[in-house]
Structure 1
Amino acid sequence: MITIAERHQQIINRLQQEGKVNVADLCADMDVSSVTIRKDLKLLEDKGLLFRTHGGATLHNPYTVDRSVNEKEKIQSTEKMLIGAAAAKLLQPNDSILIASGTTVLALAKSIQPKGALTVITSALNVSQELIQRPEIEVIQLGGLLRKSSSSVTGPYAESILADFSFSKLFLGVDGIDLEFGLTTTNVMEAHLNRQMIKVSQKTIVLADSTKFGRRGFGRICGFEDIDQIITDKGVPDYVVKALEAMGTKVTIV
């Protein structure tokens, strides 16, 4: 039987290779009980070497916190602009699209070069402010309760307006992408509005930099069955990309 030090090293090695570990898999690989593995994970967490999750552990803290849009805009700014530029290439002449909130979808707004007329409905004030400068783009701003940290609106009024429209594409920003829990945001009301946006859109495209993967926000938006495509950067681990593609989600790396 392997020693406790050897078990701990194996756990850390697996985490470094795969980003997360599962209790059941570790039990089978090391031929020990789940009680033993859970004790190992707790000891390693106490040392600051991992974060325990439901049924396993991960290298990074899976829970994200709410930050202001000004703070988030400075994080992964180059990657976000590349993601936004790739998303802008998906627009068609005379498109009608829906843009949710977030700094990565703001990068999309900055990259849009319309081919013909374009109609954009958005919950984000900063997206509207960016697009209002373009005479060829018709902008419809959703109304509702203003969420200051994200510079966007939420609530039943915004949701009721959406019922009158149909969109070819929704460009959605998220705070967390977890292979088990799905897509999340830090605000429950925003999560609910995002679900309504998905319902009225023919195609949902998530724009998220690699720091959003392996994280969970407080409010769950949806599972991957509701997502058609994710555009992200090359920082996403290969095993995550393969898992997403196996679930039928197209992944575009910029």
Structure 2
Amino acid sequence: MSKHDRWSKLLELLAAEGRLDVDAAAVALGVSPATIRRDLDELAEQQMLVRTRGGAVAHGVSYELPLRYKSSRHASEKQRIAAAVAEMIADGDVVGLNGGTTTTEVARALALRAGGSRSERQRWDPADATSPLFTVVTNALNIAGELAVRPRVKIVVTGGVARPQTYELVGPLTVGVLNEVVLDVAVLGVDGVDPELGLMTHQEDEASISRLFAERARRVIVVTDSSKMGRRAFAKICKLDRVDVLVTDSALPGETAARLTEAGITVHAV
């Protein structure tokens, strides 16, 4: 098991339990206690946990994995979801993307689609900046960075204060920009989908921005792997009646899909 894999597993265990014991973690990962101690020391240096005698604890009650460690989880499912969503976007659409690993994959799929075929790239005049294939409005710095170099994607980045865990911009500056735009579609990544409470995420400031994305859009597409279905998180984004389409993976239980369909949501399991 590589160091990256060990760290990801340790952070997952910490997120689930709130604390880690060196000996128990060593057994769970099949490595020596000395290796676990070194890993915890390095993670503590990066301020991703707090070292304690014999183990470690999370920084707070509501703990979330940093984006760079979540990106490898359910990777193939997220890529299939992203490819399906990219086909749902019409040429010329203004697309809102909040932050997250699945929406990052959606951004990459849109970038590939905007690249077009070789003949289309040859016909397109780079000087014609007035007719991008897509306009993407995002509060995610990593998504903006990936799309900024794509000549056929117009990228609009909100202002705001950056959260280091998710690279999302939040706060009044973000709200100010979103209140001035109109979106054809908002593609939202979430941390939980509850049949009664709706869409949820870990942080209340990110939830308010995602809610505004939904309010500014004509159509709302939720993208999430099936592990998030039926899960609750701390902060509510919006109810399910605001969602038009949900794209997830094929592991979605049939009864859950039926319940969502009865609520008026178009479900795509890919």
Q: What pairs with 1:200-239 in structure 2 (closer than 5 Å)? A: 200-239=216-255
Return the alpha-carbon distance in structure 2 between the equivalents of residues 69 and 229 of structure 1: 24
SS at match of 2:166: coil
Match of 1:138 in 2: 154
SS at match of 1:244: helix
Aligned-pair CA distance for 1:107: 0.5
Aligned-pair CA distance for 1:117: 2.3
RMSD: 1.5
Match of 1:70 in 2: 68
Aligned AA for 2:166? S
Structure 1: gaps of 5 or more residues: 1-62
Q: TM-score, normalised by structure 2?
A: 0.69
SS at match of 2:165: coil
Q: What pairs with 1:43-192 in structure 2 (closer than 5 Å)? A: 65-112=63-110, 113-114=113-114, 117-192=133-208
Structure 2: gaps of 5 or more residues: 1-60, 117-131
SS at match of 2:218: coil
Q: TM-score, normalised by structure 1?
A: 0.73
CA-to-partner distance for each residue in 1:138-180, whole Å, 9 max, x for gaps?
A: 1111110111111111111101111111110000000001112
Match of 1:56 in 2: none
Match of 1:249 in 2: 265
Percent of aligned pairs with the same residue?
A: 31
Task: Judge conservation of contact 1:69–1:150 (CA < 8 Å) in 2.
Answer: yes
Aligned AA for 1:166? V
Indicate how the Cα distance of structure 1 residues 180 and 65 shifts in structure 2: closer, same or farther if over 3 A, else same. farther
Aligned AA for 1:223? K
Return the alpha-carbon distance in structure 2 between the equivalents of residues 211 and 133 of structure 1: 33
Return the alpha-carbon distance in structure 1 between the equivalents of residues 233 and 161 of structure 2: 20
Return the alpha-carbon distance in structure 1 between the equivalents of residues 175 and 106 of structure 2: 23
Indicate how the Cα distance of structure 1 residues 245 and 64 shifts in structure 2: closer, same or farther if over 3 A, else same. farther
Indicate how the Cα distance of structure 1 residues 91 and 158 shifts in structure 2: closer, same or farther if over 3 A, else same. same
Question: What is the total number of aligned residue pairs between the two structures?
Answer: 192
Match of 1:5 in 2: none
